[in-house]
A and B are shown apart, each in its own frame.
Chain A
């Protein structure tokens, strides 16, 4: 199997980037997309060229490191999957693939396909937690939590922080990411005490990072590798409005 690749190369944060064409040959459909990049990189190394920089770590869809758009789609063509979970059987022999990093003001490109997503960490640092110190916890079964609520909280908590939602959004909005954390903690009894401050602080932090607003296109939901629902955004908006009204 053979693929024509157009890959974004950019030497550093400051430099201009451009697409560079590579031919990848001798591939098999059971190879993963990232393994194909490994093969290309080994070839470039042998030829004395610098390999393509890209982020990846667990290669099983949970660490959230791998972040690239394939033919304009964040994480490529498969629903509910990260880039590392895309296998070449998803493409046609001879197909051209355009590969580029996340495009968003709040995620500046560092090199080639590597973008800086530290904005997400700063949003969590602003309030995405329950303030409970080590050793302060009551018995785990002291607070019953309905199965349905626990499942819903898990659905939100399953976010891997990859940033595909931002990359897919025409406004580069981080609403799905923020709403997932607001919902995860806001659904559970443990998160109630700080629920109102949390949503306000996180929204302020999100805005300060330069993410855009939500205009209900739902592109985020469509590309989310963990299939997190835009219902979370509605929940966050309700929480936020409630918190603001409470202050009046």
Chain B
């Protein structure tokens, strides 16, 4: 299969401008004849649904939560990047583009990333106009902070709740369109299948989570804005409901899945305390503006952190990466933390933890300034651990936080299935093998506000409006398949609750396809997962019926999909015989333990094709060419 990314011709910096000037349009009078389905109401979904409705399209928006405002973008803490250069510190679109390509370890598309950097400035303008209360300086101008992988301050923030404020801005824009009758909002609906009619995406099948009703919906285009799949690991910073079902079902209908093994492990999360644990809580990367990571120099140190003298501490990030220090990118900081813990120098009851220490900042700035910057994060830390980070350092450890992989899309954000568009974390497009901090919010909103509204017209202008009648064999077939699957889940009637399978899947992925990967480990992981999937379909217990609110049934469907995805993640990791960004294959490392990329063989995007139940997936590749930036070894030293 030849993958055509449809990147416009011309110099990199002019591609997006040229594209916009030449793109085919749908006239204002015709827009209302087209139906667009938007699945998911996070930053990408809410901003796309609102913007498309403003343009005049008929929009149907779906989310599984009780309200569109609860999508997990709400939990993003630290900030959003934009190349505004308000700090006069030398930032530019070019520099944001370079940082993002380098941060992703040269495994993303230049053209997409450049466009992202270009529209980043519009996002901040739009959000401010909506009333997003970003942090300000005393003179009334917008404030910035620094994030990992950058040497400028380009991150805009609203205390430690930037995602919440941006999402509420998009939610309010969406609410306005719902109030005007331009968007039909369907909360508590979960997408369970994609309808492909004559090779084009023309609808979805949903389950109403309260009544259990299965229903088909037709449209001229389907947008999946359904987030990432990090919950495959069970323990993660994701919301409990975050799942892969929408994208996985689309994958089974023909959409290619790209780079599934690229998963971000965030360095600063609160460590695991027990078997019963249901989630891991992030401590924002913004804390590394003022917090310093360290472990004791000696193994088996028993003293409390504050009792360990300065000279006996190893500020390992500052030592290993002096030019970026504590703001080294996430994959690098996570691996460094793992390494010092593997050496036996980890802290806390499990030995899987490092300190994040604010005493120097409190001494330099005063406690009140530190409080002003991070109060809600310190309060969250206190609620979970019962400890005060003003008095002794936080204990942190890496945790699964984001997935760079996702459905393959071209420059138009369209998958290989015509009419199926994929936005935000759900696609693979902009972050390569590692995402920089404060870039997820940027990408979600860029896709929804400023990219998709332009590119969708190019597709729809070539389509005859289908009409919203959800009938025909493709719809019947998808409906039948969904009914059968629901019945099958309820009918296994085994002994084990869904959570037992999910935990085992998560542990297997963490051990074999986590921060460090080997051929042997991945092969073992694949063997375990194959058995686990079989066991699931023989022994899972889903009580209740399909005809009302049944949270066990919801979870069972999602975990069944995660089990299939887990195997693909391992296979992708196995076949990528190099180390890059988050993907660290122990067989491929430099003498000082850094990633050894193999550009000649692996400078590509993997794109997996589903070949049918029980058949191995087939890997296609989209070669990456770097015309503007020379492929270089990433260094933060």
Q: Shortest distance in angstroms between B598's beta carbon and chain A's nearest beta carbon?
A: 39
| Contact yes or no, B276 A140, CB < 8 A | no
- Answer whether A137 and B125 are a contact pair too, CB < 8 Å, given A45-B543, A57-B239, A64-B69: yes
| Contact yes or no, B172 A57, CB < 8 A | no
B496's nearest neighbour on chain A, judged by CB, is A46
Question: CA A29 – CA B168 in complex, angstroms?
Answer: 34
Any B CB within 8 A of the CB of A97: no
Counting chain B CB atoms within 10 Å of each CB, the highest count among A130, A134, A151 belongs to: A134
Q: Within residues 122 to 174 of chain B, which ones have a CB less than 8 A from any CB in chain A? A: 122, 124-142, 158-159, 161, 164-165, 168, 171-173
A46's nearest neighbour on chain B, judged by CB, is B497
| Contact yes or no, B69 A50, CB < 8 A | no
Any A CB within 8 A of the CB of B603: no
Q: Within residues 31 to 85 of chain A, which ones have a CB less than 8 A from any CB in chain B? A: 31-32, 34-35, 38-39, 41-42, 44-46, 48-51, 53, 55-65, 78, 80-81, 85
A44's nearest neighbour on chain B, judged by CB, is B543
Q: Which of A30, A59, A138, A140 contacts B240 (CB 8 A)?
A: A59
B241's nearest neighbour on chain A, judged by CB, is A57
Interface of A is mostly: loop
Any A CB within 8 A of the CB of B523: no
Any B CB within 8 A of the CB of A129: yes
Counting chain A CB atoms within 10 Å of each CB, the highest count among B50, B84, B175, B384 belongs to: B175
Interface 1/0s, chain B 573-586, versus A by CB < 8 A? 00000000000000
Q: Which of B51, B133, B210 contacts A157 (CB 8 A)?
A: B133
Q: Shortest distance in angstroms between B140's beta carbon and chain A's nearest beta carbon?
A: 3
Interface 1/0s, chain A 83-108, versus B by CB < 8 A? 00101010000000000000000000
Q: Shortest distance in angstroms between A55's beta carbon and chain B's nearest beta carbon?
A: 7
Q: Which residues of A contact B164 (CB under 8 A)?
A: 62, 158, 160
Q: Which residues of A contact B549 (CB under 8 A)?
A: 53, 110-111, 114
| Contact yes or no, A45 B66, CB < 8 A | no
Q: Which residues of A contact B131 (CB under 8 A)?
A: 130, 153, 157, 184-185, 188, 190-191
| Contact yes or no, B133 A141, CB < 8 A | no
Q: Which of B159, B185, B383, B543 contacts A51 (CB 8 A)?
A: B543
B140's nearest neighbour on chain A, judged by CB, is A144
| Contact yes or no, B179 A137, CB < 8 A | no
Any A CB within 8 A of the CB of B277: yes
| Contact yes or no, B86 A141, CB < 8 A | yes
| Contact yes or no, A64 B175, CB < 8 A | no
Interface 1/0s, chain A 125-153, versus B by CB < 8 A? 11111111111111111011111001101
Question: CA A63 – CA B172 in complex, angstroms?
Answer: 15
Q: Which residues of B contact A139 (CB under 8 A)?
A: 125
Give the number of chain A interface residues (Cβ < 8 Å).
81
| Contact yes or no, B274 A45, CB < 8 A | no
Q: Shortest distance in angstroms between A74's beta carbon and chain B's nearest beta carbon?
A: 17
Q: Which residues of A contact B133 (CB under 8 A)?
A: 150-151, 153-154, 157, 184, 188
Any B CB within 8 A of the CB of A161: yes
Which stretch from B70-78, B194-202, B325-333, B432-440 is at the chain A interface?
B70-78
| Contact yes or no, A65 B66, CB < 8 A | yes
A-B contact pairs, 28 of them (CB 8 A): A42-B499, A46-B541, A50-B544, A53-B551, A55-B66, A57-B240, A58-B72, A59-B239, A59-B281, A62-B75, A116-B66, A117-B67, A118-B67, A121-B68, A121-B175, A125-B176, A129-B176, A135-B122, A135-B126, A135-B450, A137-B122, A137-B126, A141-B84, A144-B136, A154-B133, A158-B161, A161-B69, A190-B129
Nearest 8 interchain pairs by C-beta = A144-B140, A137-B129, A129-B172, A125-B179, A137-B125, A45-B497, A57-B239, A154-B133
What 16 additional pairs, Cβ within 8 angstroms, besides A59-B279, A118-B66, A134-B51? A31-B274, A34-B278, A45-B543, A51-B551, A57-B240, A62-B74, A65-B70, A121-B187, A129-B172, A129-B176, A135-B122, A140-B84, A141-B141, A144-B139, A190-B128, A190-B129
Interface residues of B (CB under 8 A from A): 47, 50-51, 54, 65-70, 72, 74-75, 84, 86, 122, 124-142, 158-159, 161, 164-165, 168, 171-173, 175-176, 178-179, 185, 187, 210, 239-241, 273-274, 276-279, 281-282, 379-380, 383-384, 386, 449-450, 453, 495-497, 499-500, 541, 543-544, 548-549, 551-552
